């Protein structure tokens, strides 16, 4: 999912507004999603429902070689999301236009109530009203085919991009982004935009771009970079941003790299799982092609940066160690100051003069006397 916010101004009325564009790209494993709907809790498939290749020589009730998924399938959009569509976005500038691009062997149908008026357009597109007339009404989309193996061919993107972290240790690091122009006939012009958090001390003088073609032709930075726009970061206030306009000739692979330092954070700025790392936002790549009103926008994968992390358990270790040493020291000194070392004979002599010892002796004598009286009574 991506959210782009841009300021759009009307020069005649001097009125400016914010325009937000939300794009969601989703890839769904259809068989797995349908199984999850039928059985939210994973359970073993019953033997009667297993699809086994019975032509195998080792096939029996215990050995099953699974077959491929059936090619004849039919499913609805509500099977994946748990409910049908209840209406278009009420704040969207355009109507709720739904377009479906499917191969010829796929049959597309719409399931909706009779009181819903749909405007059918070209290229399998319809306009859905912002709010359906009745809360019980719904709109659903059904796809079915006899051969699910026939799908649309994936178009070749204007450029391939790959972004990764470089370096090692907890002091320095770097970012390396590789662009590849798959076209062999035309160049591609693009704008590369990146937002760098303030704790990544980005050095603009380390920004370098180089290109190669067929491992023989090398292109310099001046031949690739057209413009650079850079906004430095402010500690704990705003991130750094830079935009680079690059022209990549046909069949050329360009590499953009820069270096940065890793900063130490305050104690309260670390997340609960500080050793996991910090997510770095994806970079945005926008291609600019002549004759195309709408540019192509590509986002790289996010990065996971590991910052210098202190040992948060050290204060507790120091407290425990200090308390242990103090307890051992206090116990030893207390015994030396309070207790006196004497022999066993002296200890017994001192103990005989105590009130507790005399009381115990009297109790023992009384017990012996009672026992003697009992014996005399039995003899008589």
The per-residue pLDDT for range 65-89, each reduced to its tens digit, is 888 877 888 888 888 888 887 777 7
Q: Which residue has the tokens 């690059």?
A: 246
Reported as a single tens digit per residue, the pLDDT across 140-189 is 888 888 888 788 888 888 899 999 999 888 889 999 999 998 888 888 89
Q: Return d(Cα 349, Cα 169) in angstroms, integer.
A: 72
For the chain, domain boundaries? 29-145, 161-305, 315-379
Residue range 161-305, CATH number = 2.60.40.740
Under 8 Å between Cβ of 84 and 142: no
Q: What is the pLDDT of residue 197?
A: 93
pLDDT at 92 over 70: no
Average of pLDDT values for 292-313? 83
Q: Helix, strand, or coil here: 15? A: strand
Q: How confident is the model at residue 122 (pLDDT cuts 50, 70, 90)?
A: low
Cα separations in angstroms, 261 against 40, 70, 235, 336:
46, 54, 13, 57
40-54 in b/e form (b: 16+ CB < 10 A) is: eeeeeeeeeeeeeee
User: Which range scores top for mean pLDDT: 46-60, 74-88, 186-200?
Assistant: 186-200
CA 94 to chain centre: 32
Using CA of residue 55, residue 57, residue 61, residue 64, what is the dihedral sign? negative
Q: Return d(Cα 348, Cα 246) in angstroms, integer.
A: 99
């Amino acid at each position: 999912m991506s959210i782009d916010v841009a300021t759009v101004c009307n020069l005649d009325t001097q009125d400016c507004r914010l325009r937000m564009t939300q794009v969601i790209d989703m890839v769904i494993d259809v068989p797995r999603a349908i199984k999850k709907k039928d059985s939210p809790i994973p359970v073993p498939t019953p033997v009667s429902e297993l699809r086994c290749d019975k032509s195998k020589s080792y096939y029996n009730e215990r050995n099953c070689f699974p077959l491929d998924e059936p090619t004849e399938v039919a499913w609805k959009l509500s099977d994946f999301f748990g409910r049908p569509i209840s209406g278009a976005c009420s704040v969207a500038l355009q109507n709720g236009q739904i377009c479906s691009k499917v191969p010829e062997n796929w049959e597309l149908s719409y399931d909706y109530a009779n009181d819903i008026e749909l405007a059918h357009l070209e290229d399998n597109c319809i306009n859905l009203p912002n709010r359906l007339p009745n809360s019980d009404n719904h709109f659903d989309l059904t796809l079915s085919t006899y051969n699910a193996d026939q799908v649309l061919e994936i178009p070749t993107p204007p450029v391939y991009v790959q972004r990764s972290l470089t370096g090692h240790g907890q002091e320095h690091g770097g970012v390396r982004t590789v662009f590849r122009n798959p076209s062999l006939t035309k160049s591609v012009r693009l704008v590369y935009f990146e937002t760098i958090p303030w704790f990544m001390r980005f050095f603009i003088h380390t920004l370098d771009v180089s290109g190669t073609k067929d491992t023989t032709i090398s292109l310099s930075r001046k031949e690739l970079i057209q413009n650079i726009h850079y906004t430095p970061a402010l500690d704990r206030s705003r991130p750094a941003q830079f935009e680079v306009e690059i022209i990549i000739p046909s069949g050329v692979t360009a590499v953009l790299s820069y270096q940065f330092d890793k900063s130490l954070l305050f104690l309260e700025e670390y997340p609960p799982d500080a050793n996991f790392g910090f997510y770095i936002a994806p970079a945005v790549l926008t291609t600019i092609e002549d004759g195309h009103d709408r540019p192509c926008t590509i986002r790289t994968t996010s990065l996971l940066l590991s910052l210098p992390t202190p040992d948060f358990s050290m204060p507790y270790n120091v407290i425990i160690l200090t308390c242990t040493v103090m307890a051992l020291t206090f116990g030893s000194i207390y015994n030396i100051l309070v207790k006196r070392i004497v022999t066993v004979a002296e200890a017994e002599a001192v103990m005989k003069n105590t009130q507790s010892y005399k009381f115990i002796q009297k109790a023992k004598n009384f017990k012996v006397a009672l026992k003697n009286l009992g014996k005399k009574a039995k003899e008589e």
